[in-house]
Structure 1
Amino acid sequence: MRLKSIIAGAVISVMVSGVVAFAGPVWDKIQKSKTLRAGIMNNSIPGAYYNDKKEWVGFDVDMAKEIAKRLGLKLEQVLVTDKTRIGFLQQGRIDMSIANMTHKRERDKSIDFSITYFFDGQKMLTRKGKYADWNALVGKTIATVQGTTSEINVKTLMKKMGGAEIVSYQDYPSAFNALQMGRVQAFSTDSTILLGYAAQEPGKYELVGDFFSREPYGIGLPQDESQLRDAVNFALQDMWKDGTYMAIYNKWYGERTPYYFPMTEQIEMWP
C-alpha cells in the first residue's frame, strides 16, 4: 500500500513539475527576464519599417519602446507578419503584438487585446487622376493582402458595387508593386498604410473614396493574462494623459509628415 502511495506521489510530482516548467503566467516570466518581447512588422510604412539607414523605425516601434520603458523593461523587437502575429502570441514567442492589427471579435476568441491604440479605416489607392470613386473600379483588378481584414472588406464592398477581380498578395510591398507595374488598378488596405506607400513616389498616387470600414487597432496579448493587459492599458492611458502619445503620433502622422492623417478619436480613459 505504501509503495503504491509513493508511486502515485511521484507521478503527481512529475505532472506538477511539468506544468510549472512549461506554463506559468506570462507576466511572471516578463518580470523575471525584465524583457518585453514585442511582435512588430517591417513593411507597414510608417507604422513599422526599415529606413534608408536600415534602422527599424515607425509609430509602432516608438509605441513599443515607450510601453516597455514605462513598465521598467527592456524591449526585444521580434519580426512578425500578418500571418504570424497571432500564432507567435499563442506559441509564447512574443508577449505582445503591436502590428496594425484590427481588434475583431473573431480574433478575440484566441488572443486578448488592449484598448484601441490607433484608429484607422480602409480605402483604395490608385494612380492620381485615374479614378474618381469606387464605382469607377467596378470590373477592374484590385490588390490586397492575404490573411487581413482588408481582404474580406474589399471583397464584400466590390461584390455589392457590381464586382471586381480581387488579387491577394503575400505582403504590402508586393501589392503596391502590382499597382506600380500596372497589373492592378487599385491597392486596398488600411489608409495609413496606403499613405506610407504612396509617399514613396510623391504625386503619383491618391486615395479614392471615403472609408468603407472602421479599423480600430489593438495591441494583441496572450489569452487570459490580466496583469499584462492591465499594465499595457495603463501605460497607453498614461501616455495619452501626459501628451506622450500625441507627440509620437505627430512625429509619424502630423501635418509636417508625408503621412498626414488627422487624429479623429481619443483613447479610452479610465477614472
Structure 2
Amino acid sequence: MRLGKIIALAAAFLVFTGSAALAGPAYDNVMKDKKIRVGLMTDSIPGGFYNEKGEWGGFDYDIATEIAKRMGVDIERVQVNNKTRIAYVQQGRVDISVSNMTHTRERDKSVDFSITYFFDGQKVLAKKGQFKSVKDMVGKKIATMQGTTSEVNVKRALKEAGDPNPDQSVISFQKESECFQALQMGRVAGWSTDASILVGYSAKEPGKFELVGNFLAEEPYGIAMPQDDSALRDAVNAALQDMWKDGTYKTIYNKWYGPGTPFEMPLAGQIEMWP
C-alpha cells in the first residue's frame, strides 16, 4: 500500500472517531457543560410567548426552567416554531424541546418524547354566536398551522361533517398569531388548534370569541429530545414526576390556567407516576 493512501486512511479514521467522540449522548453533554438548551415557542399564548413588555414567559417556559433547576444545570432558551421544534432536536441545536407539541407515533419516528406533561384537546375558535358545531362551518374557511396535527384533524372533521372539499376549506399558516389575525379580520370563519392556545389568544379580546362544538382530537403534549438517549429521558421524566408529587406542577399550572386567570382551563389529566 502506498504511503499516501495509508496517510489518507489514517486521516479519515481520525475524523470519523473524532466526530463520534464529539457526538456523544445529549445527557452527557448537558451534565458536562452544566447547561441544557431548551427549545421554546415565542407566540404560543400562554405556553411560550412575549408579553406586551417584551418579556419571554409562559407555562412551557416555567416548566422548562423548573426541569433545568431539578437537573442542577443552567438553562439556555432557544426560539423555535412549529417547523423547527423537531428539526432543532435532530440537529443538536437544542437538547429538549418544550413547545406545546403533541406526542404522536409519526413524530416518535424522528425524536423521543417524555411522558405526557400537559393534557389538551383540539377545538375550533370562532366569533361568538355564529356557530354551534363544526357541521355549521362546512364550506367556510378555517385557519390552522401548517405541518401540525391540527391541520390533519380539522380536515378530517370537516370531511366527516360533509364538506366536499376540506383541503380547500382549510388555510394553513406558519404562526398562531397569523391564524388569530386572519380570524380577527374575517378572512376565515374559524381557527382550529389546541384549546389552550385558543383560550390564550381569545383572552386578548374578552367576550368576542368562543370555542365551537366538541373536541376534534386529544392532544397529549410531550417534551421532545434526541432518539435513544435514555439518561436524558429519565432525568426529564423524573423531574416532571417530582414536580407533580411536591405540588410545583400545579402551582405553575394554576399560575397560567387556574381560576381567575385570563386563560382559565380545568386540569384534565394526571402525570404518569412511577413507584
TM-score by structure 1 length? 0.95
The 5 Å alignment of 1:49-64 reads 49-64=49-64
Aligned residues: 270
Report the 3-state secondary structure (helix = DSSP H, G, I; strand = E; otherwise coil) of the residue aligned with 1:206: strand
1:16 is matched with 17
What's the offset of the Cα at 1:15? 2.9
Q: Please tell me whether residue 140 in structure 1 is matched to residue 140 in structure 2.
A: yes
- Once the two structures are overlaid, the 10-residue window that deviates more, 160-169 or 77-86, is 160-169
The 5 Å alignment of 1:21-40 reads 21=22, 23-40=23-40
- Whole-Å separation in 1 of the counterparts to 2:19 and 2:173: 42
1:114 is matched with 114
List gaps (5 residues or longer) in structure 2. none
The 5 Å alignment of 1:66-215 reads 66-163=66-163, 164=166, 165-215=169-219
- Whole-Å separation in 2 of the counterparts to 1:137 and 1:216: 26
What's the offset of the Cα at 1:14? 4.3
What's the offset of the Cα at 1:81? 0.3
- Tell me, yes or no, if the aligned pair for 1:140 and 1:184 is still in contact at 8 Å: yes
Partner amino acid, structure 2, of 1:96: I
Partner amino acid, structure 2, of 1:69: K
Partner amino acid, structure 2, of 1:254: G
- Tell me, yes or no, if the aligned pair for 1:122 and 1:191 is still in contact at 8 Å: yes
Partner amino acid, structure 2, of 1:81: N
Partner amino acid, structure 2, of 1:146: Q
Report the 3-state secondary structure (helix = DSSP H, G, I; strand = E; otherwise coil) of the residue aligned with 1:36: strand
- Tell me, yes or no, if the aligned pair for 2:101 and 2:222 is still in contact at 8 Å: yes
Q: Deviations over 1:190-217 (max 9, x none)?
A: 0000001100000100001111100000
- Whole-Å separation in 1 of the counterparts to 2:155 and 2:19: 46
- Whole-Å separation in 1 of the counterparts to 2:198 and 2:87: 25
- Once the two structures are overlaid, the 10-residue window that deviates more, 29-38 or 226-235, is 29-38
- Whole-Å separation in 2 of the counterparts to 1:170 and 1:52: 21
What's the offset of the Cα at 1:74? 0.5
- Whole-Å separation in 2 of the counterparts to 1:159 and 1:264: 28
Partner amino acid, structure 1, of 2:229: E
Q: Deviations over 1:44-80 (max 9, x none)?
A: 1011111122110100000000000000111111000
Report the 3-state secondary structure (helix = DSSP H, G, I; strand = E; otherwise coil) of the residue aligned with 2:62: helix
List gaps (5 residues or longer) in structure 1. none
Report the 3-state secondary structure (helix = DSSP H, G, I; strand = E; otherwise coil) of the residue aligned with 1:209: strand
- Whole-Å separation in 2 of the counterparts to 1:60 and 1:73: 17
- Whole-Å separation in 1 of the counterparts to 2:101 and 2:45: 14
TM-score by structure 2 length? 0.94
Report the 3-state secondary structure (helix = DSSP H, G, I; strand = E; otherwise coil) of the residue aligned with 1:131: coil
Q: Deviations over 1:82-109 (max 9, x none)?
A: 0001100000000000000000001101
Percent identity, aligned pairs only? Answer: 59
What's the offset of the Cα at 1:110? 1.0
- Tell me, yes or no, if the aligned pair for 1:139 and 1:162 is still in contact at 8 Å: no
- Whole-Å separation in 2 of the counterparts to 1:149 and 1:233: 24
What's the offset of the Cα at 1:133? 1.5
- Whole-Å separation in 2 of the counterparts to 1:263 and 1:99: 18
Q: Which runs of 4+ in 1 moved over 4 A?
A: 6-11
- RMSD between aligned residues: 1.8
- Tell me, yes or no, if the aligned pair for 1:143 and 1:186 is still in contact at 8 Å: yes
- Whole-Å separation in 1 of the counterparts to 2:139 and 2:152: 18
- Whole-Å separation in 2 of the counterparts to 1:227 and 1:54: 35
Report the 3-state secondary structure (helix = DSSP H, G, I; strand = E; otherwise coil) of the residue aligned with 2:49: strand
- Whole-Å separation in 2 of the counterparts to 1:16 and 1:186: 54
2:244 is matched with 240
2:262 is matched with 258
1:45 is matched with 45
